[in-house]
């Protein structure tokens, strides 16, 4: 689901080569200066200088071939040291929950012409987040929940931590932190290379959720996942700084109960004497930023924020902050004035200044040009389904300046170089217009064009639907082929409707029914998706926070009220209204069928949360509060509570190996539906995870199942 998503519009990572860890990152890979980018072409790592695009072959396959092997390493990712003399290579990657963050690492010494494996005494594909020290003489990495430092030349390895187990987690995170805060890489080299700051999570008191595998052996076996459900205490978390020379850790003394607080962000100060971290209380409605002295462990609060709903953790760079003014200030994102805005904050006294002034949401920070005095960011003040690149003076004066081409209406994405001079620019809209170029600032001048398709095509329409409650919702609609407005067609709604993601954007490829096996438009279906209150659209905090303690209530009503208006359209067949969704969308599908059976006649719910009390604490408590203080919203918002009202056709699909949304909830829902005498259909996929993609034939089977059920119970075509 319920993947932690700061905002669905944030798309690209900025590469800062020489300091970032490797874990199969995506996007354009810049050099440190931002004057060139790298690519892998037929096993050769090449560099393209800008703006000339002069091509240089930097690394040949022979250099990436280990001794005794006849094949070069299959490079998944790579990073050059700051001086460019060494290359860190990530290969043989393996999945950890969501992403491939475990693998093998090698160092290529370009001067010495040597290639050697890092951590070769550790199990294969067990290393995580390896990165060079600032002088590239050492590489630090995590294996088995312990942090190690290895000398690049001698191969000598020093353990920075030794207490790591399956439940004592050093340098990375537990399931809930990774899923809901996006925290994975859990350690940082100090700028002087003498120390490493790291997270330590104690999950020893987190109960195991046991998934059962019935198919891979004669006797079934369980798969334990440390999983804190809503109302259960989270893992205790603290931050320490270990001396690379001595291996001694100094723990930072942050006020408060380590179990009842989260630490989702941490970074070094430039002087290597202090670290800065953010502490979020259990309810996630109070955030504090502390400066911690690494010698004494003492902490000093420099920033505080509180709200009556929740505070989103939105680092401005990595899992930390963008520093400005020689480290005397940092940038922070806050919704304290009702809009998502960028502030500059003094590390000395916490004095703050609003940078992105105006009644609009800053969608994401792209880069800061201190020399020029500008900050570059994405926003869309006039249309929440679109996004554009703006800049504004870093001193907070003046007005936002639109940089994206004014004649390209839709969604723009940029990956800016570290110096902010060059960018990869991609644009598209619902009319299937698209542009992909490399460009230069100032002036947004194209220096290389990859794709340009500006002749509009397609039958997708963007629309808005007001309701009797004076709430206007954005939506998209794909009409059937050979549409005849004098006849009536079935409608298939696609829903999510929770705070983790929005479904409506003015961008190419957003509107479709990917599970349908065939041509759904040719088969005569109207496809629609609508975003209601609570979706992470750039419409202001009041829109997004309206869902607080109302998941399964207000978002469901918004969908239903929009559907009622749509049912008044003369070409809509009100007897053929279907809905489908996955994860949070599966939960929404169930709630719509159960709470508004007079509207929705057919539903397909995939991997749904049937009972909110069964989902993880970070996500559910963020948006619903603590169940031990007020359980009623959890109950009223859960589909299982309303299952007795089912009148239509229901298909529930779930993987029994889903570590995210447990199959347990679907089994409880089955029991309730059986108890209430409700007929429905059910498909379980053994040992499949939340994405239901593992195993030969699975995706095709699910697609055919989806299509067959829809055609049977909500046949397409005009009437």
Residue 15 has pLDDT above 80, yes or no: no
Residue 487 has pLDDT above 80, yes or no: yes
d(CA 39, CA 513): 33
For CA atoms 329, 333, 336, 338, the dihedral sign is positive
Least confident of 7-21, 87-101, 147-161, 644-658: 7-21
Residues 661-679, mean pLDDT to the nearest whole number: 98
* 8 A C-beta contact, residue 76 and residue 103: yes
Name the average pLDDT for the chain: 93
Task: Return the pLDDT at 398.
Answer: 86
Peptide bond into 508 cis (omega under 30): no
- Tell me the percentage of the chain whose pLDDT exceeds 70: 96
CA angle 621, 624, 628 (to 5 degrees): 65
- Three-state SS letters, 284-343: CCEEEEEEEECCCCCEEEEEEEECCCCCCCCCCECCECEEECCCCEEEEEECCCCCCEEE
Task: Report pLDDT digits (tens) over 189-241.
Answer: 999 999 999 999 999 999 999 999 999 999 999 999 999 999 999 999 999 99
CB atoms within 10 A of CB 171: 27
3-state secondary structure of 586: helix
Residue 25 has pLDDT above 50, yes or no: no
Task: Return the pLDDT at 14.
Answer: 26
d(CA 26, CA 38): 12
Residue 23 has pLDDT above 70, yes or no: no
Which secondary-structure segment (H or E) carries 453? Answer: strand 445-453
Q: How many residues does the chain have?
A: 719
Tokens of 610: 């049937």
**Residue 91: alpha-carbon gap to chain centroid:** 23
Q: Cα-flanking dihedrals φ and ψ of residue 195, to 5°?
A: -140, 165
Adjacency order of strands within the sheet including 434-440: 411-416, 422-428, 434-440, 445-453
Residue 18 has pLDDT above 80, yes or no: no
All residues at 6 or more sequence positions from 528 whose CB lies less than 8 Å from its CB, including other chains: 475, 476, 477, 478, 491, 492, 493, 494, 566
* 8 A C-beta contact, residue 30 and residue 36: yes
Peptide bond into 240 cis (omega under 30): no
* 8 A C-beta contact, residue 185 and residue 172: yes
């590469």: which residue's tokens? Answer: 15
3-state secondary structure of 434: strand
Tokens of 129: 């987040």
Label residue 528 by pLDDT band (50, 70, 90). Answer: very high
Tokens of 19: 């300091």
Local structure of residue 60 (DSSP, 8 states) = -
Label residue 103 by pLDDT band (50, 70, 90). Answer: very high
Residue 13 has pLDDT above 50, yes or no: no
* 8 A C-beta contact, residue 517 and residue 476: no
Peptide bond into 442 cis (omega under 30): yes
Residues 562-587, mean pLDDT to the nearest whole number: 98
Task: Return the pLDDT at 27.
Answer: 60
3-state secondary structure of 591: helix
Task: Report pLDDT digits (tens) over 418-439.
Answer: 888 999 999 999 999 999 999 9
All residues at 6 or more sequence positions from 128 whose CB lies less than 8 Å from its CB, including other chains: 23, 96, 101, 102, 103, 141, 142, 143, 171, 172, 185
> What are the start-end ranges of the E strands in 124-272?
128-132, 138-143, 146-151, 157-159, 168-170, 187-189, 195-202, 208-213, 221-226, 236-243, 249-251, 261-268
Query: What is 181-220 written as a DSSP string?
Result: H-----EEE-TTSSEEEEEEEE-TTSPEEEEEE-SSSSS-
Residues 541-555, mean pLDDT to the nearest whole number: 97
């479709």: which residue's tokens? Answer: 512
Least confident of 3-12, 76-85, 442-451, 465-474: 3-12
Task: Report pLDDT digits (tens) over 253-306.
Answer: 999 999 999 999 999 999 999 999 999 999 999 999 999 999 999 999 999 999
Which secondary-structure segment (H or E) carries 557? Answer: helix 554-566
Task: Return the pLDDT at 20.
Answer: 42
Question: What burial class does residue 396 get, using C-beta atoms within 10 Å of its C-beta: 0-12 exposed, 13-18 middle, 19+ buried?
Answer: middle
Q: Cα-flanking dihedrals φ and ψ of residue 272, to 5°?
A: 65, 15
- Tell me the percentage of the chain whose pLDDT exceeds 90: 88
Helix residue spans in 596-642 (DSSP H)? 617-624, 632-636
Tokens of 374: 């500008």
* 8 A C-beta contact, residue 103 and residue 123: no
Least confident of 25-29, 172-176, 498-502, 566-570: 25-29
Task: Report pLDDT digits (tens) over 580-618.
Answer: 999 999 999 999 999 999 999 999 999 999 999 999 999
Task: Return the pLDDT at 85.
Answer: 93
28: left (phi over 0), alpha (psi -120 to 50) or beta: beta
Task: Return the pLDDT at 251.
Answer: 98
Task: Return the pLDDT at 546.
Answer: 96
Task: Return the pLDDT at 573.
Answer: 98
Label residue 17 by pLDDT band (50, 70, 90). Answer: very low
Least confident of 1-15, 231-245, 523-537: 1-15
Task: Report pLDDT digits (tens) over 28-68.
Answer: 899 988 999 999 999 999 999 999 999 999 999 999 999 99
Residue 26 has pLDDT above 70, yes or no: no
Local structure of residue 363 (DSSP, 8 states) = E
Question: What burial class does residue 391 get, using C-beta atoms within 10 Å of its C-beta: 0-12 exposed, 13-18 middle, 19+ buried?
Answer: buried
């Amino acid at each position: 689901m319920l993947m932690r998503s700061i905002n669905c519009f944030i798309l690209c990572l900025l590469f800062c080569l020489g300091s970032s860890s490797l874990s199969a990152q995506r996007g354009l890979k810049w050099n440190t200066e931002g004057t060139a980018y790298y690519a892998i072409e037929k096993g050769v790592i090449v560099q393209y200088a800008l703006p000339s695009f002069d091509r240089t072959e930097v690394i040949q396959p022979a250099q990436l071939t280990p001794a005794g092997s006849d094949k070069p390493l299959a490079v998944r990712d790579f990073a050059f040291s700051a001086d460019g003399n060494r290359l860190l290579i990530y290969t043989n990657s393996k999945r950890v929950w969501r992403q491939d963050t475990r693998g093998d690492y090698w160092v290529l010494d370009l001067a010495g012409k040597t290639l050697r494996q890092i951590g070769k005494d550790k199990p294969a594909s067990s290393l995580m987040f390896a990165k060079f020290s600032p002088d590239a003489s050492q590489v630090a990495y995590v294996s088995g929940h312990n942090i190690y430092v290895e000398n690049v030349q001698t191969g000598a390895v020093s353990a920075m931590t030794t207490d790591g187990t399956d439940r004592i987690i050093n340098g990375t995170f537990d399931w809930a932190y990774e899923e809901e805060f996006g925290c994975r890489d859990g350690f940082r080299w100090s700028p002087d290379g003498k120390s490493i700051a790291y997270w330590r999570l104690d999950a020893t008191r987190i109960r195991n959720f046991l998934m059962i595998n019935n198919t891979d052996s004669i006797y079934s076996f369980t798969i334990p996942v440390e999983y804190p459900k809503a109302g259960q205490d989270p893992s205790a978390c603290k931050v320490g700084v270990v001396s690379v020379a001595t291996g001694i850790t100094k723990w930072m003394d942050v006020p408060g109960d380590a179990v009842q607080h989260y630490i989702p962000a941490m970074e070094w100060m430039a002087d290597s004497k202090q670290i800065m971290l953010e502490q979020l209380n259990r309810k996630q409605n109070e955030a504090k930023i502390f400066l911690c002295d690494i010698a004494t462990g003492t902490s000093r609060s420099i920033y505080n924020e509180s709200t009556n709903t929740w505070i989103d953790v939105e680092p401005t760079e990595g899992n930390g902050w963008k520093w400005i003014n020689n480290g005397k200030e940092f940038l922070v994102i806050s919704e304290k004035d009702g809009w998502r805005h960028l502030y500059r904050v003094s590390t000395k006294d916490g004095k703050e200044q609003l940078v992105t002034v105006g009644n609009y949401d800053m969608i994401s920070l792209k880069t800061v040009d201190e020399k020029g005095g500008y900050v570059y960011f994405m926003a869309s003040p006039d249309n929440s389904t679109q996004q554009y690149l703006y800049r504004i003076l870093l001193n907070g004066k003046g007005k936002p300046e639109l940089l994206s081409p004014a004649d390209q209406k839709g969604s723009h994405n940029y990956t800016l170089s570290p110096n902010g001079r060059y960018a990869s620019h991609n644009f598209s809209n619902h009319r299937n217009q698209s542009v992909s170029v490399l460009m230069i600032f100032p002036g947004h001048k194209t220096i290389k064009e990859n794709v340009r398709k500006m002749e509009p095509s397609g039958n997708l329409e963007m629309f808005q639907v007001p309701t009797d409650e004076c709430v206007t919702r954005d939506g998209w609609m794909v009409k059937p082929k050979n549409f005849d407005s004098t006849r009536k067609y079935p409608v298939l709604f696609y829903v999510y409707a929770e705070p983790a993601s929005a479904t409506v954007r003015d961008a190419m490829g957003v509107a479709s029914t990917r599970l349908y096996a065939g041509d759904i438009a040719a088969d005569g279906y109207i496809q629609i998706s609508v975003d209601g209150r609570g979706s992470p659209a750039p419409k202001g905090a009041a829109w997004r926070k309206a869902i607080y303690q109302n998941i399964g209530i207000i978002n469901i009503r918004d969908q239903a009220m929009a559907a009622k208006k749509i049912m008044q359209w003369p070409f809509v067949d009100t007897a053929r209204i279907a809905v489908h969704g996955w994860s949070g969308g599966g939960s929404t599908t169930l709630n719509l069928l159960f709470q508004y059976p007079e509207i929705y006649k057919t539903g397909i719910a995939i991997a749904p949360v049937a009972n909110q009390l069964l989902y993880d604490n970070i996500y559910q408590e963020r948006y619903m509060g603590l169940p031990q203080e007020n359980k009623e919203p959890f109950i009223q918002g859960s589909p299982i509570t309303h299952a007795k009202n089912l009148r239509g056709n229901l298909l529930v699909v779930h993987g029994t190996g889903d570590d995210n949304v447990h199959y347990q909830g679907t089994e409880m829902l089955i029991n309730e539906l059986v108890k209430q005498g409700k007929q429905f259909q059910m498909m379980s996929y053994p040992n499949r995870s939340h994405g239901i993609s593992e195993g030969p034939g699975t995706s095709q089977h699910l697609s055919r199942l989806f299509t067959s059920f829809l055609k049977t119970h909500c046949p397409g075509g005009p009437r």
